[in-house]
Chain A
């Protein structure tokens, strides 16, 4: 299933909750205040904060417990038959089947998820916005070409194409040509820029009709200047809100690729790989944290970003109101 194709037409996940006209009304300051007071926002921000804290604290925790994320401690954490402990011996959440600390790995996994999610979504934002600006502003044949391009990109099945793209990364020496993390970032960005492009193009076409743009054109300002100084500031807020919407989808995208064995490779800790390992070995029945730790972390991260992005959309997104 293409997890990334989901936000195309920007559904609203929560409608108005307090009266029909509440969400996008009032001054910007009032909206901001309402946003930060909403319990959903607070909960979301708290969850994101927790994940960020975990990511930042990872090296610190590793230093305190003395277990690196890829270091193996089989003698301390495995039974004679290779079964991992589920706690104790200085292993808060036990070990995996290679004797690595599950807690430390989960924290490092947050770094991987956030890094890949944020970088890939940002690349998608930049590329998509650029394409959308040009297509929407220049129009005509350029627009047609770029739109056709977007259509083509949309028609690719995400995971299936990703599976073959990953094999491209095998160099003549048999090892990876570039860090698999960047391949994953590339693939995820490749499959999410189109949504930014469509969104921005639509907004630009709308804005182009407004009088201040006509005025700018009339005053003889160059195209580039108009795009950068007049149009971009007007579309950027929507694009950024959309960035927050796309981020959790991209984090799931990375986890899915890693789960299928074509994303981040072992022993680098990624939640997707950890879950795949738990599933393939079946050890989660014996050592539940093997599954629960990465699954709950993934859940918390996605939930946090979903809560915040929904609130953002509800209160600030011009495209999601009044239609």
Chain B
């Protein structure tokens, strides 16, 4: 690809990403407008007069037509309780939460570390074990290890995360604690800045829950990709030349097998960062996913829009980065 073509490619991609994100926001905006009726009524005490409700609606700018509100969201909306709204502020403001009475940006920033911790740890576990199990299974294809990992894979592929999470809590927290071994907490999140040890201890079960499902897939993906590569001519040649097994499998074959893993892994990772709704719910981790559930169920439209926007941004950026890496790898080979 020439330099010009590359710029051209980048420009199209970036435009498309921007359009995607904007479209997601507009759709969510309209959706929440229709879905969550009369937020002012919900904010007022049960017996509030019509005037009180109207004045609340005015204060939050929710008495205006939806297109004006949308315009305000993207450009500059009214100040709500001292918080500016709209994108044309610095930093861009994502609005003001009705229920929590706080800027949405502040809420998101507060919840992101927990969700990121969850995603990062799960990713570590899933990459390490997928590679290890996948390659080892490929090396002794059809052997007992391959069969066991295949069984493992089908098992966790067929268990929804909420069931895995419940089982882990029941056995590793409840039964173990009753038996006197109190290591795993049942829920909660401790920031890494507060205590790295506690942070990890609280996240082990959620990490496992997410990672088990992912390992189930990726272990098999890596195994079959490795097998395909191993059977190609250049590897056979290398083998014939006496290259060691380990270098063949963990070096050449694995590197050749990475592309599908990257593509799929990127999407999965984006989805988890965008809100591991069920895992956070089951383990009481106060992250983006849990915030999404409480906000959606209480009709807190600005937060729902903010989270959707965040998720979409993470998704397009992750897929973009994955594409770049794939491209760079193909250019090098």
> CB of A5 within 8 A of chain B?
yes
A6 touches B217 (CB 8 A): yes
CB < 8 Å: which of B34, B141, B264, B296 contacts A8?
B264
B263 touches A9 (CB 8 A): yes
> CB of A156 within 8 A of chain B?
yes
Within 8 A of B (CB), among A269-323: 275-276, 279, 284-285, 291, 295, 298-299, 302-303, 306-307, 323
CB < 8 Å: which of B16, B35, B227, B272 contacts A15?
B227
Within 8 A of B (CB), among A196-248: 248
Within 8 A of B (CB), among A94-140: none
> CB of A65 within 8 A of chain B?
no
> CB of A13 within 8 A of chain B?
yes
| Separation of A298 and B277 alpha carbons in the complex (Å) | 20
A303 touches B293 (CB 8 A): no
> CB of A11 within 8 A of chain B?
yes
Cβ–Cβ < 8 Å partners of A158 in chain B: 271
> CB of A178 within 8 A of chain B?
no
A299 touches B220 (CB 8 A): no
> CB of B276 within 8 A of chain A?
yes
Nearest CB on B from A300, distance (A): 8
CB < 8 Å: which of A11, A154, A306 contacts B158?
A306
| Separation of A200 and B21 alpha carbons in the complex (Å) | 25
| Separation of A279 and B27 alpha carbons in the complex (Å) | 34
A1 touches B161 (CB 8 A): yes
B277 touches A1 (CB 8 A): yes
B166 touches A279 (CB 8 A): yes
Cβ–Cβ < 8 Å partners of B260 in chain A: 9, 11
Within 8 A of A (CB), among B286-330: 289, 292-293, 296-297, 299, 304, 307-308, 311-312, 315-316
Contact with A along B130-151 (1 / 0, CB 8 A): 0000000010011000000010
> CB of A3 within 8 A of chain B?
yes
B227 touches A155 (CB 8 A): no
CB < 8 Å: which of B158, B268, B277 contacts A5?
B268
Cβ–Cβ < 8 Å partners of A161 in chain B: 28, 31, 308
Query: A163's closest neighbor in chain B, by CB?
Result: B296
Q: Known: A14-B220, A157-B274. Contact between A299 and B19, CB under 8 A?
A: no
Q: Known: A151-B16, A159-B278, A160-B304. Contact between A255 and B160, CB under 8 A?
A: yes
A260 touches B277 (CB 8 A): yes
CB < 8 Å: which of A5, A15, A157 contacts B312?
A157
> CB of A12 within 8 A of chain B?
yes
Query: B296's closest neighbor in chain A, by CB?
Result: A163
A5 touches B35 (CB 8 A): no
> CB of A168 within 8 A of chain B?
yes
A155 touches B264 (CB 8 A): no
B20 touches A259 (CB 8 A): no
Q: Known: A8-B267, A148-B16. Contact between A15 and B31, CB under 8 A?
A: no
| Separation of A155 and B210 alpha carbons in the complex (Å) | 21
Q: Known: A1-B276, A6-B217. Contact between A252 and B160, CB under 8 A?
A: yes
Cβ–Cβ < 8 Å partners of A302 in chain B: 157-160
A148 touches B275 (CB 8 A): no
A148 touches B20 (CB 8 A): yes
> CB of A16 within 8 A of chain B?
yes
Nearest CB on A from B34, distance (A): 6
| Separation of A224 and B159 alpha carbons in the complex (Å) | 43
A156 touches B160 (CB 8 A): no
Query: A294's closest neighbor in chain B, by CB?
Result: B163
| Separation of A163 and B291 alpha carbons in the complex (Å) | 12
Q: Known: A159-B275, A306-B154. Contact between A291 and B220, CB under 8 A?
A: no
A156 touches B158 (CB 8 A): no
> CB of B105 within 8 A of chain A?
no
Cβ–Cβ < 8 Å partners of B315 in chain A: 154-155, 157
A168 touches B293 (CB 8 A): no
Cβ–Cβ < 8 Å partners of A164 in chain B: 28, 31-32, 35-36, 296, 304
A1 touches B158 (CB 8 A): no
Cβ–Cβ < 8 Å partners of B275 in chain A: 157, 159-160
CB < 8 Å: which of B153, B162, B228 contacts A13?
B153
Within 8 A of B (CB), among A26-76: none
A148 touches B311 (CB 8 A): no
| Separation of A307 and B163 alpha carbons in the complex (Å) | 20
CB < 8 Å: which of B36, B161, B224, B282 contacts A14?
B224
> CB of A192 within 8 A of chain B?
no
| Separation of A17 and B142 alpha carbons in the complex (Å) | 7
B227 touches A6 (CB 8 A): no
B150 touches A14 (CB 8 A): yes
> CB of B202 within 8 A of chain A?
no
Q: Known: A9-B264, A14-B220, A163-B292. Contact between A155 and B21, CB under 8 A?
A: yes
Nearest CB on B from A209, distance (A): 22
| Separation of A276 and B160 alpha carbons in the complex (Å) | 12
| Separation of A160 and B296 alpha carbons in the complex (Å) | 8
Cβ–Cβ < 8 Å partners of B268 in chain A: 1, 5-6
Nearest CB on A from B20, distance (A): 5
| Separation of A220 and B17 alpha carbons in the complex (Å) | 39
Nearest CB on B from A285, distance (A): 8
Query: Which 10 residue pairs of A and B lie closest in terms of their CB atoms, listed nearest first?
Result: A15-B224, A163-B296, A157-B311, A302-B158, A303-B158, A2-B271, A11-B221, A167-B35, A155-B312, A159-B277
Please list the residues of chain A having a beta carbon within 8 angstroms of any beta carbon in chain B: 1-3, 5-6, 8-9, 11-18, 20, 148, 151-152, 154-161, 163-165, 167-168, 248, 252, 255-256, 259-260, 275-276, 279, 284-285, 291, 295, 298-299, 302-303, 306-307, 323
* Interface contacts beyond A163-B296, A168-B31, A302-B159: sample of 19 additional A-B pairs, CB < 8 Å, sorted by A: A1-B277, A1-B279, A2-B271, A8-B264, A15-B220, A17-B141, A18-B142, A20-B231, A151-B316, A157-B292, A159-B278, A161-B31, A163-B304, A164-B304, A167-B35, A256-B161, A260-B277, A260-B293, A302-B157
